[in-house]
Amino acid sequence: EVVYLNGKIIKSHEAKISVFDRGFIFGDGVYEVMVRIDQRFFYKKAHMERLQASLNKIGIAYDVDALEREIPELLASSNLSHDDCLLYIQITRGVAPRKHAYPEGIEPTVLMYALSKKLPDINAVHAKVVTTDDLRWLRCDIKMTSLLGNVMANEYAMANNCYETLLVRDGQITEGSHSNVFFVKDSRVYTHPANTLILNGITRQIVLELCGQLNIEVREEAISLKDIATMDEAFLTGTATQIASIQQINNHYFYKNEAIGTLTQKLQTAFLALKK
């Protein structure tokens, strides 16, 4: 198993990062996750652009273009040139004595690794989800490595034998712990607007584009927790989640069996076609 660390491809057990790395000390860094299917990265440009945007938002001066050119060698060294895989990229502010303010003149720490990963069938998931308070900060648009709020929320799903936890801020559903969420009512698709309260998922953006192509009406409006039972369908989106049908939220069942809603299914079919 190899990783790319600061310009070198090395064995993962030989990779070393300083204990004074600000990623370790403060969670001061950003990341991306993307998948490669049939020897092609899915929406790589969008992921690299979001990574650059996250870096810019937290004032890490680093250009991701050069990094992108290192990916083929990482895949080759990982023996994954021909396999479906997942690529993780993380950039932290770098190593410096512990002081909160951004230090000057340090180099960011850059980590990438690829793992063999076969995505499950798109219609295989019939997700049970729970809801909890959205305890995160107010810049959820930044894809940062400080994920404690997301980790705690996801743990709540696991403790309840659920697939995901939906987060509720001021009575409204924002997103999942590691996915975005959509609702369908009266043939209209609803999802939280892409403001600072959610991560604007690449899969979310693809689904909105597909809605346009399929003449499905979209409202980028948050849905209230109290209105969940009035919705016709619900689904999650994410890089690894793809488009996952939601079967149940808390005590409300959309389906008692493994049915999938009409629009959810339509979007799943259109999404799969993009991967061909």
- Residues in contact with ligand PDD by CB under 6 A are 33, 150, 175, 178-180, 199, 201-204, 237-240
Contact at 8 Å (CB) between 38 and 80?
Answer: no
Compare residues 108 and 201 and give the one whose CB is closer to ligand PDD. 201
Does residue 143 carry a catalytic annotation?
yes
- Shortest separation between residue 115's beta carbon and ligand PDD, angstroms: 12
Contact at 8 Å (CB) between 149 and 174?
Answer: no
Compare residues 80 and 199 and give the one whose CB is closer to ligand PDD. 199
- Shortest separation between residue 257's beta carbon and ligand PDD, angstroms: 27
- Shortest separation between residue 104's beta carbon and ligand PDD, angstroms: 30
Tokens of 33: 């996750």
- Shortest separation between residue 47's beta carbon and ligand PDD, angstroms: 7
Q: How far apart are CA 9 and CA 122, in angstroms?
A: 33
Strands laid side by side in the 8-11 sheet? 8-11, 2-5, 109-116, 85-92, 29-37, 40-41
Compare residues 54 and 203 and give the one whose CB is closer to ligand PDD. 203
241's torsion region: left (phi>0), alpha (psi -120 to 50) or beta?
alpha
Task: Indicate the Cα dihedral angle 150, 93, 51, 80, nearest 10°.
Answer: -90
**Pairing, β 217-219 against β 188-191:** parallel
Q: How far apart are CA 208 and CA 42, in angstroms?
A: 16
- Shortest separation between residue 140's beta carbon and ligand PDD, angstroms: 7
Single out the residue of 243, 258, 246 nearest to residue 201, CA to CA: 243
Q: Please list the helix, strand and coil fractions of the chain in percent, rounded to the nearest 5, in that order.
A: 30, 30, 40
- Shortest separation between residue 239's beta carbon and ligand PDD, angstroms: 3
Catalytic residue among 16, 45, 143, 256: 143
The DSSP code for 95 is B
In single-letter form, the type of residue at position 69 comes to R
Active site residues: 143
